[in-house]
Structure 1
Amino acid sequence: MDESHDVARDRAGWRLRPPLLALLGALAALAVQQLLDRGQSGTVSYIEPAAWRIATATAIGTGAGALGFGMERNRWWWAVLFAGVVGAFAGLIFYWNGGGWRVWSDWHTASLFLAIAIAVPLFQTARDQGGWRFPYPEVHGHAWTNVVLWCACWLFVGVVFALAWLLAALFDLIGLHFLRDLLRHSWFNALLFGGGFGAALGLLRERDTVVRLLQRVVTAVLAVLAPVLGVGLLIFLISLPFTGLHALWDATKSTTPILLSCVIGALILANAVIGNSEEEEATNPVLRFGAMALAVAMFPLAVVAANATWLRVSQYGLTPDRLWAVVFVALASAYGIAYLLAVARARGRWAKRARVSNLQLAFVVAGLGLFLATPMLSFNALSTADQLARLESGKIAPEKFDWSALAFDFGESGKAALKRLARSKNATIAARAKDVASKDNRWAVASVDWERSEADLLVKRLRVLPVAIPVPLELRKVLTNYDGCGNNGSDRCTILYSASSTEAIAIPQSCIDKNAQDPVPNTHGSGFIGRGWDGCGPARYRLTAGIWGKVEGAVAPRSPAERAALKAGDAAGKVEIRPVPARRVFIGGVPVGDPFE
C-alpha cells in the first residue's frame, strides 16, 4: 500500500524536477562542449579530440540522459547510481573500442545504445516496484513513454533555438546585438540545448498522465496500420513460391535490410495493437487480425532474410557488416519464432504469450547488445581471416579481391593482414598489397581498381598499328583518360605503337568520323563551317623514366642567345614566315590534328 502510494505521489508531481533537470542538462551539455571543442576556427585544420575526451563526453552525456529519464523523488539515489553505472559503461566501452568519432558510426555504438534504451524502462519498473520485479504493463508503458518523451524533447529544443534566433533578429532591429553574439558561441548553444532538453523532460514528466495519454494516442494511430502491413506481408509471402527467391536477388542488393525493416515494423505495429495488457488490447476484429497476420509473417520473413545473408556470405565471404546482419537476422528469427509459437499454441489469446516473450527477449537483447558493444568478439578479425583464406586459396582472384575493405573496413586486423600479404610469395598479391598499403583513403584504392578495370576493357576496342601487339598496362591506363581513347565502351580507338617503343599516338574513332563529315552551310554568314570537333586530334604519349605520360606539346625553353635574338629582331622589325619540317598524323594521306613539333 505504501509503495503504491509513493509511486502515485511521484507521478502526481515534483516541482523541483523541471529546474533540476534543466540545470543537469545545461551543465552536462556544457561539460561535453568543453571536452570536445578545441577552440579551432574554420581556417585551421580540424584536429580530432583525444580518445579520452570523446569517451568522457560520451559518459557524461549518456549518464545525464539516463538520470533525466530515470529520476523520481522516490528512490532518487537508485537513479543516480543507475546513471553512474550507465555513463561509466558507455565511456569505458567507447574508450575500449579505440575512441574517436569513427566509433560513433560503428555498429558497436548502435548495440550499446540499444542495450541502454532497453535497460532504462527495466530500471524504471524496478524502481517503481522497489525490487527485481517487472510487471509487463509497467515495462511496456515506460518503453513507449520514453520514446514519446525523447521525440517531444527534441521538438522542444528546436522550438527553443528558433525562438532564440527570432529574438536575436528582433533585438538587432534596435541595435542590441548581445543575443546574436551569444548565439555565435558554442558554449552558449550547449547551455541552451542542454537546458532546453532537460527542462522539456522535467516539464513533460510532471504531466505523466498527459504523456501516457499521448502514448496511447500514438499506439492507437499505429495500430490502424497493422492490417495494412499484415495483409501486404501475407501477400508477399504467398507470392514467393510463384515468383521464386531469385526475383529478390535480381531486384536489389539490399534484400536483407528491407526484410529486417519489415520484421521491425511488424513487431512495432503488432505491439501497438496488443497493448500493455488484456484490458488495452484492441477489440476491433480487423486490427486483431492484422496483428495476428504480422505475428505469423515475422518468422518467414526472417528465414528469407537469413537465406539472403547466407548467399552473400557464401559468395563474397565474411565482412563486419555481414556478421552484424547475421546478428540482426538471429534476433529477428527469435522474435519470429516466439510470436509464431504464441499464435500456434494460444490462437485467439496469443497476445498474452507474446507479451511474456517480449519481456524475456528484452533481457536477452539488452545483454547481447551490451556484449556486442565491447570488442571482446572481433568481427574485424573474423572477417579478415575469412577473406584471407579466400584469397590465398585462389577462391577469389587478386584483381577481384576487395582491397579497400581490407585496408579501411577491417580495422587493425585488416592493416596487419596487408603487411603480411606484402610479403606473399605470390608476386601479384604482394605488389597489390604494397600499393594498397601506401594509400591513405579508400577512394585512392578504388581509383586504382577502376583504372585497371577500364584498362582491361580498353583491349576490346583498341586497334594497334602497324602490327597488332599487346599494349602495356601502364600505357592502357593513361589511354583511358578523356583526352586519349576515353572510357566510352562503344568508341573504338586506334593507336600507333611498336614493341619496345617509347612513344605512342592514339586517336578515337569518333574523332576520325567527325573529321570525315561533310561541311555544312554557315547560316550566319557566307561560306561553310566544318563538322569536325575543335581540338579533336591525335594524342601523343611518351615513356619517361618508366612512366607513360601525355605530351602536351609544350615549347622547349629558349636559350639566352635565342631570347636576345628575339628582342633584337623585334626591335629591327625582322618578322618573317619560313616553311619548316614537322611531324603530323596522316590518315589515308589526309593530315589530322596539329603538327607535333
Structure 2
Amino acid sequence: MADAHNDEPAWPQRPWVLAAIGAAAGLSIHFILGENSFGHTTSALDIAFAALIGSLAILVAFTLERARWTWSLTFSGVAAVVIALIFYWNGAPDDWRTAENWRALSGLLAVAIAAPLFQTARDAGARRFAYVEVHGHAWTNVVMWFASWVFVGIVFLLAFLLAALFSLIKIKLLSDALNEQWFIMTLIGASLAAAVGVFRERDRIVRLLLNVVVAVLGVLAPVLAAGLILFLLSLPFTGLSALWEATRSTTPILLSCVVGALILANAVIGRSDDEESRFPPLRWGALGLAIAMLPLAIIAAISTGSRIAQYGFTPERLWAVVFVTVALAYGAAYLIAVLRRRTAWAPAARRLNLGLGFGLCGLALFLALPITSFNAISTRDQVARLESGQVSPEKFDWAALRFQFGDPGKAAAERLAKSGNAAIRLAAANSLKASDRWDMEARQREARAVDSLDQRLKIVPAGAILPDALRRKLVDWEVCDASGACVVMFDAAKNEAITVRRNCDPESIRAETVPGDGAKSIARVSQMSENCDPKVVKLTLIGAEWTTDRLGLDAEARKVWANAVSAAIEKGDVEVRTVQRRQIFIGGKPAGEVFE
C-alpha cells in the first residue's frame, strides 16, 4: 500500500514535540477534572475544557505537518472546539443518558471522518479529495491509533518493571509516582502522542502494519460472505419470526454484520485497481458481501420498525433508525455498483465510498449538535400513547420517562402529575418522588408485587385486613417475595405478624433424591432440606415501621419440611399455638425456635 503522506521530509523532532504536547495535555486534564477524572461531581464546563484539550492534542498529533502547518492547527482547533461544545451541551456526566452518549460518539465520528479528508486536501494544497489518498489516510490513522495504544501499554509495563526493580533497593520514587493520578495522566498523554510521532516518522512500519491488517481482513471476506449468503438463503425456510424469537438484539447483530461486510469488502478491493486482490476466492467473497449488505439492512429495518410500532419511540430506537438508515444507504450503493458493473463493481464502489463518507460526516455532525432532540421526540410519542390509552398507567415505563428521556421526560412527568386521569396522576407523582432510575424501577417492582400479593397470600385469621404498610413490607425478598405461596398470621392487637413461605420448590427435593439403599436416600433428602427450609419471619410494628426478625428452624423442623410442609403451606395449615412458649407449628408439628 502506498504512503499516504506524499513523501513528507523527515522531521526527527516530531516525536519529542508531540510527547511534550501530550504530557501537557494529560497534566492539564488532570488538574481540570481533579483526582476523580470524569467522576459524577464533574461539571459540564470541566468536561468541555478537558475534551477541548484532549481532542486538540490528539488532532495535532495526527494532522500536524511542517508543510501548511497553519492549516493543521486551524483544523485541529476548530474540530476541538466543536467536540468541546458537544460535550458541554450534553451537560454534566450525571445527566448523560443514551441520547447524550450517542451524541458525543457522533461528534467524535464526524471528526474522525473529517480528519483524512482534511489531510488529503492539505497535502494537495487545495480542496481536492483523491480517493487513493483519502483511503490511505483513513486506514493509516486507524492503524496508528490502535498501535499507539499498544505502545502506551508497553510503556506502563516498562514503568512498573522499573518501579519494582528500584523498590528492591528501597528507592520508591517511581512506584510512588505510579500511584499518583497526575503522573499517570501525564504518562498516558506523553506516550500516546510520542507513539503517533514515532509511527508517522517511520512510514515503512505503518505501511507494513497496514498491509498485514488488510491482508488478514481480506482472507476473512470469503468466510463471512459464505456465512451471510447461507443465512439469507435460509430465511425463506425459517421465516423472519425466528429472528424475533431467538433474541431481542436482532437489529444490533444484523447491523454488525453489515459493518463487518463493509470493512472486509473494502479490504479486498483496496483503494485502486492496482491494489485490488486478483485471487478469485477473495474477489467473489467481496462480491458476495456487497450483495448481502442491503438485504441484511432491510431485515434490520423491519426489526426496528416492528419494535417501534409495538412499543413506540425511545432514544435508543431513534438511534437505531439512524444506524439502519446508514446501513441501507451503504447497502443500496454497493448493490447498485454491482448491478451496473457486475464483476467490475469495485471502481464504482470506491467512488461511492467517497460520497458516502462526506454524507456520513455531515450526518454525524448534525446529530451531534443540539438541533434535533431524540429525548423530546420520544417523550411526545410515549406520552401520546399513554394519554390515548394505548398503554395503561400500570404498564407505562415511568422510569424511562423520568430518568432516561432527559429534561423533556422530567417536564412531562411533572405535567402528568396534574393530569385529570387519577391513575396517571398518581403514577406520575410517584415517579417524581424517586431519586434515580433504580429507585424508580424498585418502586415499580414493589407496586406490581403488592398488586399481585393477594394471589399467593393466605391470611390467618381468614378475612383479616392487613395495613398498607405491612403489605408493602411483605413483598421484601426476605419476607414474602414472588417465589411462591406465603402464609401470614396477623395479630392486630399486638401489632405483629408472622410469615411462613417456601424457600424452594419441593419438586427439586424429590428430583435430587438418590435412588438406592434407604440410608443413602435419606441422607440426600436431609442435605437438600437444609437448603430448602421454609422462611419464618416475625414482623413487629415499631412507630410507623414494620421491622423483621427471621426465626431459624431446627433439625426436626427441616425433617418435617422435607416430608410434608409444602402441602401444609399451600393449604394454609400454619398456626401459632400457645403452650408454655410461642412457636411455629407446620402441619400440626412444632417447627422453629421459641420466640417468646
TM value normalised by structure 2: 0.84
**2:21 aligned residue:** 24
**Letter aligned with residue 356 of structure 1:** R
- Residues 164-209 of structure 1, C-alpha deviation per residue, up to 9 Å, x if partnerless? 1111111111222222222233222222211111111111101123
Distance 1:330 1:534 in 2: 53
Structure 1: which 5+ runs fail to align? 522-527, 554-578
**1:435 aligned residue:** 430
User: Is contact 2:269-2:276 (8 Å) kept?
Assistant: yes
CA shift for structure 1 position 459: 3.1
**1:244 aligned residue:** 239
Distance 1:123 1:512 in 2: 66
Could you tell which deviates more after superposition, 392-401 or 348-357? 392-401
CA shift for structure 1 position 508: 2.7
**Letter aligned with residue 15 of structure 1:** P
Which of 439, 443, 463 aligns to 1:448? It is: 443
Aligned-residue CA RMSD (Å) = 3.3
**1:176 aligned residue:** 171
CA shift for structure 1 position 407: 1.5
CA shift for structure 1 position 106: 0.5
**Letter aligned with residue 21 of structure 2:** L
Q: Secondary structure at the match of 2:129?
A: coil
Q: Secondary structure at the match of 1:399?
A: coil
User: Is contact 1:67-1:83 (8 Å) kept?
Assistant: yes
**Letter aligned with residue 390 of structure 2:** K
Matched, 1:68 2:65: no
**Letter aligned with residue 237 of structure 2:** F
User: Is contact 2:219-2:282 (8 Å) kept?
Assistant: yes
Matched, 1:386 2:381: yes
Which of 1, 8, 14 aligns to 2:11? It is: 14
Matched, 1:86 2:57: no
Percent of pairs identical after alignment?
50
CA shift for structure 1 position 428: 2.1
**Correspondences of 1:512-523 after superposition (within 5 Å):** none
**1:508 aligned residue:** 501
Cα 1:262–1:46 change in 2 (3 A) is closer
**1:414 aligned residue:** 409
Which of 333, 340, 356 aligns to 1:345? It is: 340
User: Is contact 1:259-1:301 (8 Å) kept?
Assistant: yes
Could you tell which deviates more after superposition, 423-432 or 268-277? 423-432
**1:273 aligned residue:** 268
Cα 1:102–1:26 change in 2 (3 A) is farther
Which of 230, 234, 237 aligns to 2:229? It is: 234
CA shift for structure 1 position 447: 1.4
Distance 1:344 1:254 in 2: 31
- From the CA coordinates, give the structure whose radius of gyration is larger: 1
Which of 156, 164, 174 aligns to 2:151? It is: 156
Could you tell which deviates more after superposition, 345-354 or 468-477? 468-477
Cα 1:432–1:8 change in 2 (3 A) is closer
**Letter aligned with residue 325 of structure 2:** A
Distance 2:330 2:583 in 1: 75
CA shift for structure 1 position 546: 7.1
Cα 1:472–1:281 change in 2 (3 A) is farther
- Residues 84-116 of structure 1, C-alpha deviation per residue, up to 9 Å, x if partnerless? 101111111211222437559700111011111
User: Is contact 2:163-2:174 (8 Å) kept?
Assistant: yes
Q: Secondary structure at the match of 1:376?
A: coil
CA shift for structure 1 position 503: 5.8
Cα 1:287–1:500 change in 2 (3 A) is farther
Distance 2:406 2:248 in 1: 24
Q: Secondary structure at the match of 1:137?
A: helix
User: Is contact 2:44-2:90 (8 Å) kept?
Assistant: no
**2:565 aligned residue:** none
CA shift for structure 1 position 427: 2.0
**1:565 aligned residue:** none
Cα 1:102–1:21 change in 2 (3 A) is farther
User: Is contact 1:156-1:200 (8 Å) kept?
Assistant: yes
**Correspondences of 1:98-497 after superposition (within 5 Å):** 98-100=91-93, 103=96, 106-467=101-462, 475-489=470-484, 492-496=485-489
Cα 1:421–1:501 change in 2 (3 A) is farther
User: Is contact 1:55-1:99 (8 Å) kept?
Assistant: no
Cα 1:595–1:112 change in 2 (3 A) is same
**1:58 aligned residue:** 51
Cα 1:92–1:396 change in 2 (3 A) is same
- Residues 237-258 of structure 1, C-alpha deviation per residue, up to 9 Å, x if partnerless? 1111110111111110000000
CA shift for structure 1 position 354: 0.6
Distance 2:377 2:284 in 1: 43
Q: Secondary structure at the match of 2:127?
A: coil
Distance 1:552 1:475 in 2: 16
Distance 1:81 1:6 in 2: 21
CA shift for structure 1 position 470: 8.1
**Letter aligned with residue 384 of structure 2:** A
Distance 2:494 2:310 in 1: 43
Q: Secondary structure at the match of 2:389?
A: coil
**Letter aligned with residue 267 of structure 2:** A
User: Is contact 1:7-1:74 (8 Å) kept?
Assistant: no
Q: Secondary structure at the match of 1:506?
A: strand
Could you tell which deviates more after superposition, 542-551 or 13-22? 542-551
User: Is contact 1:22-1:195 (8 Å) kept?
Assistant: yes
User: Is contact 1:538-1:592 (8 Å) kept?
Assistant: no
Cα 1:496–1:166 change in 2 (3 A) is closer
Cα 1:428–1:595 change in 2 (3 A) is farther
Cα 1:83–1:594 change in 2 (3 A) is same
Distance 2:224 2:406 in 1: 40
Distance 1:6 1:219 in 2: 15
CA shift for structure 1 position 455: 3.4
Distance 1:589 1:138 in 2: 87
**1:566 aligned residue:** none
Cα 1:132–1:189 change in 2 (3 A) is same
**Letter aligned with residue 149 of structure 1:** M
Q: Secondary structure at the match of 1:463?
A: strand
Distance 1:151 1:275 in 2: 20
Distance 1:108 1:287 in 2: 37
CA shift for structure 1 position 432: 1.9
User: Is contact 1:496-1:506 (8 Å) kept?
Assistant: yes
CA shift for structure 1 position 422: 1.2
User: Is contact 1:406-1:418 (8 Å) kept?
Assistant: yes
- Residues 423-447 of structure 1, C-alpha deviation per residue, up to 9 Å, x if partnerless? 1222222222222211112121111
TM value normalised by structure 1: 0.84
Distance 1:318 1:6 in 2: 44
Q: Secondary structure at the match of 1:280?
A: coil
Cα 1:454–1:213 change in 2 (3 A) is same
Distance 2:326 2:36 in 1: 44
Q: Secondary structure at the match of 2:487?
A: strand
Could you tell which deviates more after superposition, 125-134 or 493-502? 493-502
Structure 2: which 5+ runs fail to align? 511-517, 520-525, 552-577
Distance 2:531 2:61 in 1: 70
Cα 1:537–1:20 change in 2 (3 A) is closer
User: Is contact 2:297-2:328 (8 Å) kept?
Assistant: yes
Cα 1:19–1:103 change in 2 (3 A) is farther
Distance 1:85 1:159 in 2: 32
Q: Secondary structure at the match of 1:494?
A: strand
